[in-house]
Amino acid sequence: MNILLILSFAVFIATFLGGLFAIRFKDKLHMIMGFSAGAVIGVAFFDLLPEALELTKNTYAISITTSIVAFGFILFMILDRFVIMHSHNHEDEHEHTHTENKRGILGAGSLSIHSFLDGAAIGLAFQISAAVGAIVAVAVLVHDFSDGINTVSMIMKNGGTKKEAFNWLLVDAIAPVLGITSTLFFSLPESILGIILAVFTGFFIYIGASDLLPESHHNHPTIWTSFATVLGVLVLYGAIQIAGM
């Protein structure tokens, strides 16, 4: 119980500091978004997808799990395109800004739900054993900093204010704490958790490749934003590899 309390505090601080970093260096937002694109894609391929395959291997074929990843990608695309189509029906600038904000909320909301699942994963892992729980906790902590950056980036690049970005940062930072706490009251089959992670893998591939990455290049030198994206991928890869050792 005490270790879960400490971990709850640690994931909150890690996420919160990442978000504050993004808010503080708003003038470098294109670089931050480039890094975020790489980080989100890195989380999808190096963390969520392998974990989803591992958790579902005894229940579903690999092709089923990867098909669910594709379903998650398509689902998020439909939600995103619906918002974009809605904006095209209005010429009013205020309405356009409101629509952009909804896109930011959609992305930040998905990241926050993922953070909640991260916390739940820590709690459920400790139900298996302290050793497994420690490994999962380290894996979550190493990318929580970038989770905070990603959440703030989604809000601010879609026209959100610093206050709105800060509010969503609080949501994202509190989400894993709630996730850890929730596991004191239930247990979840590994196969179900794996399916949820597969859906979010699709979400994150879309967010990184179709939203953050193109926006980071807009009116900025491609070479530097590309470097930031590659750096984001490498940082997440290295962190996840270290966590899994």
Q: What is the pLDDT of residues 173-228, one digit of tens each?
A: 999 999 999 988 887 788 888 898 898 889 889 878 876 677 666 666 678 888 88
Query: Does residue 234 have a pLDDT over 50?
Result: yes
Burial class (CB in 10 A: 0-12, 13-18, 19+), 108: buried
pLDDT at 150: 78
pLDDT at 87: 43
CB contact at 8 A, 37 and 216 = yes
Smallest Cα–Cα separation from 110: which of 201, 19, 16?
201
User: What's the rounded Cα separation, in Å, for the pair 201 and 71?
Assistant: 10
**How many other CB atoms are there within 10 angstroms of residue 65's CB atom?**
23
Q: What is the pLDDT of residues 86-124, one digit of tens each?
A: 444 444 544 445 555 677 787 788 888 878 888 887 888
* pTM more than 0.85: no
pLDDT at 143: 63
pLDDT at 207: 79
CB contact at 8 A, 190 and 55 = yes
CB contact at 8 A, 202 and 9 = no
pLDDT at 161: 81
Taking each helix axis from N to C terminus, what angle separates 62-88 and 49-56, rounded to the nearest 10 degrees?
130
Report CA torsion sign: 16, 6, 128, 177.
negative
Q: What is the pLDDT of residues 133-158, one digit of tens each?
A: 675 676 677 667 777 887 888 888 77
- Give the helix/strand (H/E) hosting 45: none
Model confidence at 160, in pLDDT bands (50, 70, 90)? Answer: confident
Q: What is the pLDDT of residues 31-86, one digit of tens each?
A: 877 887 888 888 889 888 998 899 899 999 999 999 999 999 998 888 777 754 44
Query: In the structure encoding, which two tokens stand for residue 92, read together?
Result: 């009013």
Model confidence at 163, in pLDDT bands (50, 70, 90)? Answer: confident
pLDDT at 194: 87
pLDDT at 129: 61
User: What's the rounded Cα separation, in Å, for the pair 79 and 106?
Assistant: 8
Cα distances from 165 to residues 16, 85, 111, 152, in angstroms, run 11, 24, 13, 5
Taking each helix axis from N to C terminus, what angle separates 49-56 and 190-206, rounded to the nearest 10 degrees?
160
Q: 135 CB contacts (<8 Å, ≥6 apart)?
A: 125, 243, 244
Report CA torsion sign: 107, 35, 213, 210.
negative
pLDDT at 178: 93
